Amino acid sequence: MHKQNKQLTPLTAKRSSSGDQSKLQRLRAFLERHRLAAILICGVLLVFIGCAAAFYLTYQPPVVSTDHTPIARKKKAEPVKYYSQLNGVEVADEAAVTKPVTAVMIENSPDSRPQSGIKQAEVVYEAVAEGGITRFLCLYQQNKPGLVGPVRSLRMYYVDWLAPYQASVAHVGGSAAALAEIRNGSYRDIDQFFNAGSYWRARDRYAPHNVYTNFEKLDALNAAKGYNNSQFSGQARADGKASEQPNATSVDLNFSSAWYNTHYDYDAGSNTYARSIGGAASNDREEGRIAPSVVIAMRVDETTVREDGWRQSIVTVGSGVANIFQNGTAIEATWRKGSRSEPIRFFGADGQEIALNRGQTWIGAVANNGGSVAWR
C-alpha cells in the first residue's frame, strides 16, 4: 500500500491559521475573565516554591546516635549579661562587677555648692553631720568623674553605711569615733591626712570648703594599696517603667532647715527625680542638674551627742520605716540592716525585698524626731 502525502492547499492552510487564531483569542478572553484567579494561583505557586526552598536550605535532620535514637540538638546559649551590684546597671563583663568601690565624703553647706562629681555617684547617702548641715557619702564603681569635692570629714554612721561595700573611703579627718573605727585595720582608709598627694586645695574656694580630688589620683592610690576589687551583694534591682497612675510626682525630704531641705520633681520622660535644695536646683558644677532614678527616705533615730564637739548620732543597725520613690509612685517599706557589715535592704508589707530601679539611688536618713517626708 502506498501512503499518500497530504498537502495543504492554500484554503486548508488559511482555515488552519484561522482556527489557531480563534483558539488564541478564546484563551485571551478566558484569561481576561479570570485574571484575578490566575494572579492568585501564580502567587500561591510562588509562595509554595519559596517556602519549599527555605525549608530545604534551613532544614537540619535530627542527629541520630549509633543505636538510631534521635539526639536533641542544643539551643544556642543566650548571651550572658552582667549587672553592677552597686546600682544595678548593666556592665561590660564579669570583671566590671567586682571593680573596687570608692566612697567619698562630700560637703553640702551653701559655701560648697555647687559640688563636683555628685551627678556621677552611683549611690548617695545623705544625713545631718552637725548643726543641721547635711553631708553626702558618695559611692563610685563604674563612674570616674574628673573632679570630686569638696571633700570633708567622716562620721561614724557613714562608716556603718559604707562597710558592706568593701569600699575605700576618701575623707579629710573625721569625728573621734569615726577615726578610731576607720583606722582599726578593718577598712580601706584613704584619709587626706596621710595621702596628701592625692588631694589638693582649689584656689576658687576658701578653706575648709576647697579640698578636691579626682579618680585618676584615687584609682592610683587604691591600686598602690592593693585595693583592686570589691566583693559584696547589693540591693535587689529591676528595670524601671513610669507608672500610668503616678501618686508621687512631688517629694519633700525635710532634714533640718530651709537650707538643707530637699525637693524632688518627677519626670516621666526620663523616669527620674530632678533634685532641688534650699529652694534652688541641685546641680553638679560640671554635669548639671542632679536627678536620681530612685529616692529613698529612711527614717532613723537621731540624737545630738557630746563627742569632740557636738555631733549627731544615728542608729544604723536594726530596722525602721522607709518610703521609696520610683516610677512616679510611693512605696511604703521597711529598711533592715542586721549588722555593720550587712547591707541595708528594703522590704514590702508582704515581707519580700523590694527591687529598686537601676540607676543612681539617693538615700536620705530623715530623723524620726524633727524630720519629715511628704509627697503628692
Clarify whether residues 39 and 138 are in a common domain. Answer: no
Give yes or no for residue 97 having a pLDDT over 60.
yes
Clarify whether residues 115 and 28 are in a common domain. Answer: no
Residue-level pLDDT at 9: 47
Clarify whether residues 100 and 207 are in a common domain. Answer: yes
Residue 139 forms part of a structural domain = yes
The Cα–Cα gap between 335 and 321 comes to 6
Between 29 and 215, the higher pLDDT residue: 215
Residue 113 forms part of a structural domain = yes
Do the beta carbons of residue 171 and residue 105 sit within 8 Å? yes
Distances (CA, A) of 80 to 90, 92, 325, 371, 374: 11, 10, 30, 44, 41
Clarify whether residues 133 and 227 are in a common domain. Answer: yes
pTM equals 0.80
Coil, strand or helix at 15: helix
Clarify whether residues 164 and 98 are in a common domain. Answer: yes
Helix locations, 34-110, DSSP H: 35-58, 94-97
Clarify whether residues 245 and 174 are in a common domain. Answer: yes
The angle formed by the CA atoms of residues 8, 14 and 17, to the nearest 5 degrees, is: 100
**Residue 366 belongs to a domain with what CATH number?**
3.50.90.10
Give the mean pLDDT of the chain.
Answer: 87
* C-alpha closest to that of 122 among 141, 100, 97: 141
154-189: pLDDT as tens digits: 999 999 999 999 999 999 999 999 999 999 999 999
State how many domains the chain has: 2
Clarify whether residues 166 and 220 are in a common domain. Answer: yes
Clarify whether residues 34 and 143 are in a common domain. Answer: no
The Cα–Cα gap between 222 and 231 comes to 15
Residue-level pLDDT at 376: 96
Clarify whether residues 173 and 45 are in a common domain. Answer: no
Residue 125 forms part of a structural domain = yes
Residue 289 forms part of a structural domain = yes
276-322: pLDDT as tens digits: 999 999 999 999 999 999 999 999 999 988 877 788 899 999 999 99
* C-alpha closest to that of 296 among 353, 246, 368, 360: 360
Helix locations, the chain, DSSP H: 10-33, 35-58, 94-97, 156-162, 176-182, 215-224
Clarify whether residues 204 and 342 are in a common domain. Answer: yes
Q: Sign of the C-alpha dihedral, residues 225, 231, 234, 238? A: positive
Residue 78 forms part of a structural domain = no
Residue 45 forms part of a structural domain = yes
Cβ neighbours around 372 below 10 Å, total: 14
Q: Within the chain, what is the greatest distance between any pair of CA atoms?
A: 142
Residue 84 forms part of a structural domain = no
Residue 174 forms part of a structural domain = yes
Residue-level pLDDT at 71: 58
47-91: pLDDT as tens digits: 556 555 555 555 455 554 455 555 566 677 888 999 999 999 999
DSSP letters for 197-229: GG-EE-TTS-TTS-EEB-HHHHHHHHHHTT---
Give yes or no for residue 14 having a pLDDT over 60.
no
Domain that holds residue 369: 90-375
Residue-level pLDDT at 145: 97
